[in-house]
């Protein structure tokens, strides 16, 4: 019997142990990009985009090609999907050509429908609900800063309780972090996700908290993290959001409340002067470009795990 097809639509689609193994493999690839050469040769990886992207678009294509897989870029408007072919039929057909499909979508349900036939591994390259590939790179960045054991570290996320915050809650709890999300009223993370993250944290020694007080969240934090106030697909809400998030800017005041060696992260793209002050993103605590660069080995490790379990085991040993 062949093993069932695995997906990575949200952080907890893999186990705590598998996340750790992905990070081990990713760190190895970060330090020696040639370590993955040719491991997926003969495979093709589809990269499907409904929305804009710089990091995910380029790092996933380069990750595939470094592994020896052929990357195939797919834009929704060029496919029969845009003319009414179903997601399920499209996935069944693509399974005959591809070893894996990564998708960046507006609606998370699109990924679930692509995954439903169970014939092709589907990876979330950002949906309205989660951004799990991003959080693998974030954890890799912390790991390269402090070593593998992230327990006892506090990550304070300040801003919109959105897709990135949801994945930080799940993936962070899986890594044993204490994750505190500070968001204004009406923009808190999904209650179901918070409860799931709390349940995970109870098994890993991590912790999860949600507050409306950005200063309180920043107190003694090891990591300060933020994301844009207006995510893709919400452009009509820009003005309302600018008002709602006015007290949630990652600025020098918040940095001063955190630990003296605090690391500042942002998934990017950033809007200097809006969700993050220019002197913070460009300052000595910022690791945002290392974090962006870590998207490449983190994605390569995850692709390898889903496409070739034996090669992945060897790389993560």
- Active site residues per annotation: 104, 131, 134, 227, 267, 295
Residues 251-270 that bind ligand CP (CB under 6 A): 267-269
By CB under 6 A, name the one of 69, 126, 255, 263 that touches ligand CP.
126
Is 292 one of the binding residues for ligand NVA (CB under 6 A)? no
- With tokens 């036939």, the residue in question is 117
Is 162 one of the binding residues for ligand NVA (CB under 6 A)? yes
Is 231 one of the binding residues for ligand NVA (CB under 6 A)? yes
Is 143 one of the binding residues for ligand CP (CB under 6 A)? no
Question: Binders of ligand CP: how many residues, by CB under 6 A?
Answer: 10
CA 48 to CA 57: how far, in whole Å? 9
By CB under 6 A, name the one of 32, 37, 38, 54 that touches ligand CP.
54
Whether a cis peptide bond, with omega within 30° of 0, leads into 69 is no
- Please identify, using beta-carbon distances, which residue of 87 and 228 lies nearer to ligand NVA: 228
Residue 157, classed as helix, strand or coil, is strand
Site string for ligand CP, 55-74 (x = CB under 6 A): xxx-----------------
Residue nearest ligand NVA (C-beta atom): 231
Count CB atoms within 10 A of the CB of residue 37: 12
Phi, psi of 141 (to 5 degrees): -65, -45
The DSSP bridge pattern shows strands 100-104 and 122-124 to be: parallel
Residues 6+ apart with CB under 8 A from 124: 8, 9, 10, 102, 103, 108, 111, 130, 131, 132, 133
Is 136 one of the binding residues for ligand NVA (CB under 6 A)? no
Positions in the binding site for ligand NVA (CB under 6 A): 126, 162-164, 227-228, 231-232, 267
């Amino acid at each position: 019997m062949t093993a069932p097809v695995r997906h990575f639509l949200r952080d907890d689609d893999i186990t705590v142990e598998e996340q750790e193994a992905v990070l081990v493999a990713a760190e190895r690839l970060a330090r020696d990009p040639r370590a993955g050469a040719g491991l997926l040769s003969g495979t093709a990886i589809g990269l499907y985009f409904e929305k804009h992207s710089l990091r995910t678009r380029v790092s996933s294509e380069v990750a595939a090609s470094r592994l020896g897989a052929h990357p195939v870029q797919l834009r929704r408007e060029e496919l029969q999907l845009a003319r009414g072919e179903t997601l399920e039929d499209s996935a069944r057909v693509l399974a005959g050509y591809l070893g894996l499909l990564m998708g960046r979508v507006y609606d998370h349900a699109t990924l679930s429908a692509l995954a439903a036939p169970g014939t092709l591994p589907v990876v979330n390259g950002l949906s309205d609900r989660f951004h799990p590939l991003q959080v693998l790179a974030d954890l890799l960045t912390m790991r390269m800063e402090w070593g593998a054991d992230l327990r006892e570290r506090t990550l304070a996320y300040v801003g919109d309780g959105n897709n990135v915050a949801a994945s930080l809650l799940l993936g962070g709890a899986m890594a044993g972090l204490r994750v505190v999300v500070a968001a204004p009223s009406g923009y808190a993370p999904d209650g179901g996700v918070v409860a799931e993250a709390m349940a995970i944290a109870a098994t890993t020694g991590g912790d999860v908290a949600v507050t409306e007080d950005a200063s309180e969240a920043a107190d003694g934090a090891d990591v300060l993290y933020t994301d844009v106030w207006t995510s893709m697909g919400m452009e009509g809400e820009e003005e309302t959001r600018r008002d709602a998030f006015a007290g949630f800017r990652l600025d020098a005041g918040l940095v001063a409340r955190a630990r003296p060696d605090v690391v500042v992260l942002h998934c990017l793209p950033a809007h200097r002067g809006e969700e993050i002050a220019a002197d913070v993103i460009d300052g000595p605590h910022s690791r945002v470009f290392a974090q962006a660069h870590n998207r490449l080995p983190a994605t390569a490790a995850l692709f390898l795990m889903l496409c070739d379990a034996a090669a992945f085991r060897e790389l993560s040993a």
